Amino acid sequence: MVDLTLTHKEISELSALMASGQVSAREIVAAFVSNLELHNATTNAFIAADAERALARASTLDALRGTGKTMGVLSGIPLAVKDNYLTLDFPTTAGSRVYDANPPKSDARAVALLREAGAIVLGKTNMHEWAYGATNKISAKGPTRNPWNTQHITGGSSGGSAAALAARIVPAALGSDTGGSIRIPSSGCGVCGIKPSYDFVSREGVLPLSWSLDAVGPMATSARDLRILLSAMIDGAGLGFNGDTTRIPAAKRKMRLGIPVGQGFELADDVRSAFETAQKVFAELGAEIVPVEISEMMEGFAAWKTILHSEATAFHAKFLSERPNEYADTVRIQLEAGRCITAADYLNAQQYRRGFNHKLDLAMTGYDAFIYPTLPVTAPMLDEEALHFEGVTVSAQDSMTYVAWFANLAGLPALSIPCGFGKQGLPIGLMLMGRFGTDFDLLGLGELFQTATDWHRRVPALASHSSS
């Protein structure tokens, strides 16, 4: 009998159970495979999976463990990989009909490192085509559906990875983030994800959207698990790594947290209420919370978009000329629009970026982190086109990137963790953004928050079974 209670446990808990001999890697993988069979048709989280290969690999690891061999920190842990990471044993399509390159000679560097740590790749997850969108509605494999309510989007572009975690199909996943694409679906699906500092984790073997904005990182159900995954993904090439992957701030230690305020930080009422509750949690943990005025958000957003569109169109120039009709219409239109951006426009945006980032760095001086809701709204419905909140009206797409983008423009680490639920019972995420290289400090703050809350342990109804 498959024990589905295993799918509700964190990576650290599963590892402890295996180390003590209470369960085998095969039993753990079998439990998550059962959830894949139960929930993937509903969520469309995975676009390719190989359960038999995963189970066989788990049996091999069990046999090695039985010989007394030292095992990797992620030994036997099932992993979902976003479909823009190159993988030796699965096709890579970026959610598109356009990409049909020959099989790679090696995994993406991040995948290779996680395999070396013992992780078992269960399959590839759905994504917004070419990561060029934040809803996950546009994919050659169809839209991904939110496990909390399948009439709603997951957010994207790493929506398949977030849905797989929320539905407890895997305990660990990979995403990529150009304007929030790890954090957005993490918020929308009630899971955790971190966009590391720029170049902190190797992007080798990950298909780009915008190379000066892109970051790759882990997704999981807790900040503690993100620490385990991110530690395994660092190979010494990352910039700004301060060497401390374990420190967690002590409860009641005096922390200073900034709340960015000004134009561009509007929120829906239910999200604001959840954010106020999250602030109270941090205050009880000893934090001083200070509003910090951030100006020029509209100008910064324009610079981010100019850089994104320019670099995306440059990468896709050959495909766009030879196979334009194989793109989804919305993706093709954005790529064609990028042709209208001049070299002067691009250089001006990059120059503006330097000034914006300098001002942001000064504003963050003296703070452990900035905190703010990851999204101004809960995940919209699949057919929802526009959203209205606090006097503004934005498209569903722009509501997803509303505040997430500026961590990418600045190259700063940003973490999303669950902090409550909205009016429709949909998850709300809290974003913690730190100065460059403070990735593990941010995770420590996330872990501290999660010692005082249980939102990260709650699961959608479709994954709430206890046994089978």
Taking the model in full, what pTM does it have? 0.96
- Using one digit for the tens of pLDDT, what is the confidence trace for 371-421? 999 999 999 999 999 999 999 999 999 999 999 999 999 999 999 999 999
What does the pLDDT average to over 233-260?
A: 68
CA angle 146, 453, 195 (to 5 degrees): 55
468 inside domain: no
Longest dimension (CA), the chain: 64
Q: How far apart are CA 22 and CA 132, in angstroms?
A: 44
Structure tokens at 106: 């090696």
Lowest mean pLDDT, pick from 73-77, 116-120, 209-213, 242-246: 242-246
> Residue 136, Cβ neighbours under 10 Å: how many?
37
The reported pLDDT for the residue numbered 103 is: 77
What does the pLDDT average to over 163-168?
A: 98
Question: Which helix H or strand E contains 217, and what residues bound it?
Answer: strand 215-220
431-440 per-residue burial string, b: 16 or more CB within 10 A, e: under 16: bbbbbbbbbb
- Using one digit for the tens of pLDDT, what is the confidence trace for 65-107? 999 998 999 999 999 999 999 999 999 999 999 987 677 889 9
DSSP type of residue 457:
G
Between strands 255-261 and 287-293, the pairing is parallel
In three-state secondary structure terms, 380 is: coil
DSSP type of residue 432:
E
Q: How far apart are CA 2 and CA 457, in angstroms?
A: 21
What does the pLDDT average to over 234-248?
A: 57
Calculate the alpha carbon distances from 407 to 80, 96, 366 in Å.
24, 27, 18
Q: What share of the chain is helix, strand, coil (3-state, %, to 5)?
A: 40, 15, 40
Closest C-alpha among 182, 195, 416, 398 to residue 298: 398
Which residue in this structure is represented by tokens 């001002």?
Answer: 359
The reported pLDDT for the residue numbered 261 is: 97
Number of domains forming the structure of the chain:
1
Pair 9, 171: CB distance under 8 Å: yes
The reported pLDDT for the residue numbered 446 is: 98
The reported pLDDT for the residue numbered 248 is: 62
Between strands 392-395 and 414-421, the pairing is unpaired
Catalytic positions, please? 82, 157, 181
Comparing 240 with 88, the larger pLDDT belongs to 88
- Using one digit for the tens of pLDDT, what is the confidence trace for 316-335? 999 999 999 999 999 999 99
422 inside domain: yes
DSSP type of residue 101:
P
Pair 188, 140: CB distance under 8 Å: no
Structure tokens at 359: 């001002």
pLDDT exceeds cutoff 60 at 467: no
Among positive and negative, which fits the CA dihedral 352, 353, 358, 359?
positive
Structure tokens at 357: 């980032």
Which residue in this structure is represented by tokens 């030994």?
Answer: 75
pLDDT exceeds cutoff 90 at 63: yes
User: Can you name the residues that pair with 369 across neighbouring β-strands?
Assistant: 257
The reported pLDDT for the residue numbered 86 is: 97
Pair 40, 46: CB distance under 8 Å: yes
Q: Among the residues of 67-148, which ranges form H helices?
A: 109-116
The reported pLDDT for the residue numbered 244 is: 59
The count of C-alpha atoms lying within 13 angstroms of the C-alpha of 333, restricted to the half-sphere facing its C-beta, is: 4
42-72 per-residue burial string, b: 16 or more CB within 10 A, e: under 16: ebbbbbbbebeebbebbeebbeebeeeeebb
Q: Find the CATH number of the domain harbouring 184.
A: 3.90.1300.10
**Mean pLDDT in the chain?**
95
57 inside domain: yes
Q: What percent of the chain has pLDDT over 70?
A: 95
Closest C-alpha among 271, 220, 307 to residue 403: 271
- Domain hosting residue 333, numbered range: 4-463
The reported pLDDT for the residue numbered 251 is: 56
The reported pLDDT for the residue numbered 247 is: 61
